[in-house]
Amino acid sequence: MKESFIVQFFKKWRQIGAIAPSSIFLVEDMLSEVDWDRASIIIELGAGSGTFTKQILKKMRPEAKLFVFEIDHVFLKKLNKIIDSRIVIVSESAENLSKYLDGKKADYVISGIPLSNLDKHVKSGIIYSAMESMVSGGIFLQFQYFPESLNFLKKYFDDVKLKFTFLNTPPAFYYICLKK
């Protein structure tokens, strides 16, 4: 799994944004922010090789639904091997996510999109679409290796908290953003 990440990183470093998948420590820290009893619709953006995806599926309720957005074809092949009736894998940019939700709104959006590497209009398009597709009280979770998007995320969400996980390559910050 790590090999394919490095290969994809060297081919498209801007889009991939990491040399390794997130560690189980970062995954568990971020997923501990989720109230699984109230998570009916979950969206994952930039799933990569599925590190978060597999843990989300382990934790989510049998009747919950997970919409996964990824644009890299090597990673999509891996994601499409996951057999679970609760998952919908979409090979489309996260900017267009609302088209695929059948009018549903998400309780949680969990994002690994490399915000720092994106053009401003793409980044704004993704965060706006995510925020618009969330229920009131919904939570957007995003990790980043430098906490440079704090003020940017505060423009879209009513409350933004920043936390840190040391045990990741590299150590990572993550944002917990509330839509009121």
Ligand X SMILES: C[S@@+](CC[C@H](N)C(=O)[O-])C[C@H]1O[C@@H](n2cnc3c(N)ncnc32)[C@H](O)[C@@H]1O
**Can residue 4 be called a binding residue for ligand X (CB under 6 A)?**
no
CB-CB contact of 121 with 139 (8 Å): no
Pick the stretch among 12-20, 133-141, 155-163, 171-179 that binds ligand X (CB under 6 A).
Answer: 12-20
Indicate whether 16 belongs to the interface with ligand X (CB under 6 A): yes
Nearest distance from C-beta of residue 107 to ligand X, angstroms: 19
Q: Which of 93, 98, 124, 169 binds ligand X (CB under 6 A)?
A: 93
Q: Is 21 in the site for ligand X (CB under 6 A)?
A: yes
- List the one residue from 29, 64, 68, 70 that touches ligand X (CB under 6 A): 70
Q: Is 48 in the site for ligand X (CB under 6 A)?
A: yes
Site residues for ligand X, 155-174, by CB under 6 A, read: none
Contacts of 88 (CB under 8 A, 6+ apart): 65, 66, 67, 68, 100
Nearer to ligand X, 137 or 170 (CB): 170
Read off φ and ψ for residue 38, nearest 5 degrees: -105, 5
Contact between 107 and ligand X per CB under 6 A: no
Question: Under the rule (CB under 6 A), what is the footprint of ligand X?
Answer: 15-18, 21-22, 45-48, 51-52, 69-72, 75, 93-94, 112-114
